[in-house]
């Protein structure tokens, strides 16, 4: 659904169509990606994303213009995004802007740490929808530097490795009392939810640690005469 303050608009007409007027956003018969367009292959999709990211980096973004005709086309003809992108919920990493994309160009899913930690729920279901219904051929997982979720999970992983996590948990349990206010209970619940998220990301940090160690060993072996 699209909101507008422009009053009642005329329905979309075939006379409004035009062939690929926005170079760099992927082929579109109506000026925006809709179901009348064919799905792009994975290689085509990555080219579109790379081109958009280059425009963003160079300060030459073109996605600002989005007129009534484009909104009507998306509302009446549905969406055919070029790719599905799983990004981090970090407010500094807006996926559409990073790829200089318009509404309808990318099917975006965002969560802390840009991960699907369980094979269930809305994230995985949304990915399945994008593949089965929207026919996206490219699923891109977009990470970023300084990710708080990954850093928190890495810290938790390291603490567990050194047995500090168990000691800290025992000390915390010993200090807790059963007489807690409602406000305190809600605060503990929030902390438990965050801890649960970080706990689920620990295997990601562990895998990254193993991969980095292997990469470092490979580099050392290549330097050995």
Q: In the listed set 119, 142, 165, which residue is the last one of a domain according to the structure?
A: 142
Consult the annotation and say whether 170 binds a ligand. no
Consult the annotation and say whether 144 binds a ligand. yes
Identify whether 85 is part of a domain.
yes
Q: Average pLDDT of 85-98?
A: 93
Quick one: CA dihedral 95, 97, 103, 105, positive or negative? negative
Identify whether 7 is part of a domain.
no
Assess whether 113 and 152 both reside in one domain: no
- Do 89 and 39 form a contact (C-beta atoms < 8 A)? no
Assess whether 127 and 158 both reside in one domain: no
Assess whether 76 and 122 both reside in one domain: yes
Identify whether 2 is part of a domain.
no
Assess whether 138 and 186 both reside in one domain: no
- Number of residues in the chain: 225
Consult the annotation and say whether 90 binds a ligand. yes
Consult the annotation and say whether 147 binds a ligand. yes
pLDDT in tens, 145-189: 888 888 888 787 777 766 654 565 566 655 654 445 444 444 454
Most confident option among 18-22, 62-66, 176-180: 62-66
CA dist 171 → 6, 30, 133, 167, 197 (Å): 60, 63, 50, 6, 21
Query: Does the reported pTM lie above 0.85?
Result: no
Q: In the listed set 93, 126, 142, which residue is the last one of a domain according to the structure?
A: 142
Assess whether 165 and 123 both reside in one domain: no
Assess whether 55 and 72 both reside in one domain: yes
Within 8 A by CB and 6+ apart from 79, the residues are 33, 34, 35, 104, 107, 134
Query: Can you name the residues that pair with 83 across neighbouring β-strands?
Result: 106
Assess whether 57 and 129 both reside in one domain: yes
Within 8 A by CB and 6+ apart from 9, the residues are 68, 72
Assess whether 213 and 114 both reside in one domain: no
Identify whether 37 is part of a domain.
yes
**What number of CA atoms fall less than 13 Å from residue 43's CA on the CB side?**
0
Range of the domain at 165: 148-223
Q: How many domains does the chain have?
A: 2
- Do 82 and 49 form a contact (C-beta atoms < 8 A)? yes
Identify whether 198 is part of a domain.
yes
Stronger pLDDT, 145 or 66, i.e. the higher one: 145
Within 8 A by CB and 6+ apart from 11, the residues are 72, 76
Identify whether 9 is part of a domain.
no
For the ranges 28-32, 35-39, 174-178, the lowest mean pLDDT is seen at 174-178
Q: Which runs of consecutive H residues, i.e. helices, occur in the chain?
A: 42-58, 68-77, 95-98, 121-132, 148-161, 164-175, 182-223
Identify whether 4 is part of a domain.
no
Identify whether 3 is part of a domain.
no
Provide the 10 A C-beta neighbour count for residue 219.
9
Assess whether 116 and 74 both reside in one domain: yes
Q: What is the CATH number of the domain that holds 116?
A: 3.40.1050.10
Q: In the listed set 93, 121, 142, which residue is the last one of a domain according to the structure?
A: 142
pLDDT at 191: 53
What is the average pLDDT score of the chain?
77
Assess whether 129 and 177 both reside in one domain: no
Quick one: CA dihedral 76, 81, 86, 91, positive or negative? negative
pLDDT at 84: 96
Assess whether 195 and 125 both reside in one domain: no
Assess whether 103 and 137 both reside in one domain: yes
| DSSP annotation string for 157-211 | HHHHHTTHHHHHHHHHHHH--S---HHHHHHHHHHHHHHHHHHHHHHHHHHHHHH
Of the candidates 208, 82, 97, 100, the one whose C-alpha atom is nearest the C-alpha of residue 110 is 97
CA dist 15 → 7, 30, 116, 186, 209 (Å): 21, 10, 43, 57, 57
């Amino acid at each position: 659904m699209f909101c507008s303050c422009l009053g009642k608009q005329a329905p979309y007409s075939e006379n409004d169509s035009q062939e690929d007027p926005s170079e760099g956003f992927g082929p579109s018969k109506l000026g925006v990606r809709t179901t009348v367009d064919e799905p792009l292959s994975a290689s085509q999709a990555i080219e579109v994303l790379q081109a958009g990211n280059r425009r963003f980096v160079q300060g030459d973004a073109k996605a600002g213009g989005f007129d009534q005709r484009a909104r009507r086309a998306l509302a009446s003809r549905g969406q055919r995004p070029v790719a599905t992108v799983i990004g981090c919920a970090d407010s500094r990493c807006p996926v559409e802007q990073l790829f200089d994309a318009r509404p309808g160009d990318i099917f975006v899913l965002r969560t802390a740490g840009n991960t699907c930690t369980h094979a269930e729920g809305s994230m995985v279901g949304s990915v399945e929808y994008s593949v089965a219904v929207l026919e996206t051929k490219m699923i891109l997982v977009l990470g970023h530097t300084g990710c708080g979720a990954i850093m928190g999970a890495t810290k938790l992983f390291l603490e567990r490795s050194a047995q500090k996590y168990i000691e800290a948990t025992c000390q915390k349990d010993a200090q807790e009392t059963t007489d807690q206010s409602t406000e305190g209970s809600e605060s503990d619940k929030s902390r438990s939810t965050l801890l649960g998220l970080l706990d689920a990301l620990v295997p990601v940090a562990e895998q990254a640690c193993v991969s980095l160690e292997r990469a470092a060993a490979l580099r050392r072996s290549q330097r050995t005469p």
